[in-house]
Structure 1
Amino acid sequence: MDYDHQYYLITEDECSGVYMLNESRKSDERLGIELLSEYSIKRLVRGRGHVHVTWGDDGNFSPCDYHRVSATGLVSHKFKEVLVSFNLHGVEFYGADIENNGNTWSDHYLIHIWQNYRVLHHGRSRIKGSYVDDEFTLEKISLDERVLDDIPIEERLVFRMNEDVKYLYHESVVAALRAAGLTGMRFVKVADWSIGSAFTSEDEEDEFYDDL
């Protein structure tokens, strides 16, 4: 089960989590429709994304490097540059403006992760429901090493689980993102994730760096 310790899920931290951001009607309509697609949407998107604050004290709002938007994420230019340095397969970025109280920030991107694999280990993962037609609520994740062993690592550094909308980041990518000093994000190791987990603890963060 080594892969359960090599991959992480991304979530908002106390910086970004106090706000909710969503796409506005000004956003390219294909972004709102296609961001969860399991294929490239470059030929479909013609314009920029537009995002606004829909919940939180917008009078104090200042963008973080990561916000959860449309399940996939809204990331800063700095965040994007870290990912681009890995030459990732099946990951695309679409320029997006954040608008709030007459201010506009134009250096963020909606991220589209369409590289996807069926990677849940049916014996070790825990679900409520049935694997038939993926009709379940995922309660605990364990990754199938038989699947991941057959995929070159450069093709699975960042990918989406096919069975459920979860995005997995390899530990090497997580280390680079953390080293960049970015804001708005926390990472939860797959082995530690459960349906009730929201944040990694400070001890887990320290343990991660100790292992580098």
Structure 2
Amino acid sequence: MTNYSNYDDEYYLLYSDENSIMVDLDEDILSNNKDGGTFAIPGELIQDGYVYPLILDKPYKNDAIADFHDLPYTFSYRIIKDVAQRHTLPGVQWMPAYIHYKGKRYNDHVIMHLFNEINCLDEDNSIFKRVSEFTTIIDKIVLSKEKLDNIPLEDRLIFIMEEKTSLIFMHQIIVDEIMQHNPVGIRFIKSKDWGVSEAFG
């Protein structure tokens, strides 16, 4: 039987769902503009600061723009506003953006640039294999209580798993703040329920 810690109930992994598709930076527009900037609270600067142009990766099935797209990880500002304004998140930058599609411009989006890496895997209880110095295959995640206890909560509300940097973790506090807006296109999987198949479900 797996020995889970309380953290496996508190943390969720971030994924898009079937209502979301990938976005790309519009390199044509990007090359004709000045260098970009990053802002702590994007809503206050979206008119005066640099705004990153995005395009949908492929035609969208119902011509609606979701609240979450990847990659890059892009949120509508309405669902991330509370998070951006309430919390000072180490290793997280919010970059104002817009999505243009079929002649329409959808403003008030932000790109999340995340570089808060935390070593958090319970190696005794997780199921994983290190293929190389830079590659780890994980089949079952168990978060280390010992490692996370040593990090203040405000420093680990959103982070990347250092052992596998494609996995983004959000604390229940952040998930609740996002989900109260009934977002379209975003999906959270509780850490203790995560598995390779769930990631593609």
Q: Fold match, TM over 0.5?
A: yes
CA separation of 1:146 and 1:95: change in aligned 2, threshold 3 A: same
Corresponding residue for 1:114? 115
**1:98 to 2:90 alignment:** no
**Structure 2: distance between partners of 1:149 and 1:28:** 42
Corresponding residue for 2:139? 139
Deviation at 1:89, TM superposition (A): 2.4
Q: Contact between 1:27 and 1:51, CA under 8 Å: does it hold in 2?
A: no
Corresponding residue for 2:57? 54
Give me the identity figure in percent: 27
Q: TM-score, normalising length from structure 1?
A: 0.76
Deviation at 1:28, TM superposition (A): 4.7
Deviation at 1:168, TM superposition (A): 0.6
Deviation at 1:134, TM superposition (A): 3.7
Q: Which runs of 5+ in 2 are unaligned?
A: 32-36, 40-48
1:172 alignment partner, SS class: helix
- What is the root-mean-square deviation of aligned Cα atoms in Å? 2.3
Q: Which runs of 5+ in 1 are unaligned?
A: 30-40, 201-212
Which of residues 62, 66, 69 is equivalent to 2:68? Answer: 66
**1:2 to 2:6 alignment:** yes
Query: How many residue pairs are counted as aligned between the two chains?
Result: 181
Specify the code of the residue in structure 2 equivalent to 1:155: D
Q: Contact between 1:120 and 1:144, CA under 8 Å: does it hold in 2?
A: yes
Q: TM-score, normalising length from structure 2?
A: 0.80
CA separation of 1:189 and 1:10: change in aligned 2, threshold 3 A: same
Corresponding residue for 1:22? 24
2:146 alignment partner, SS class: helix
Q: Contact between 2:38 and 2:94, CA under 8 Å: does it hold in 1?
A: no
**1:80 to 2:87 alignment:** no
**Structure 2: distance between partners of 1:198 and 1:56:** 23
CA separation of 1:78 and 1:144: change in aligned 2, threshold 3 A: same
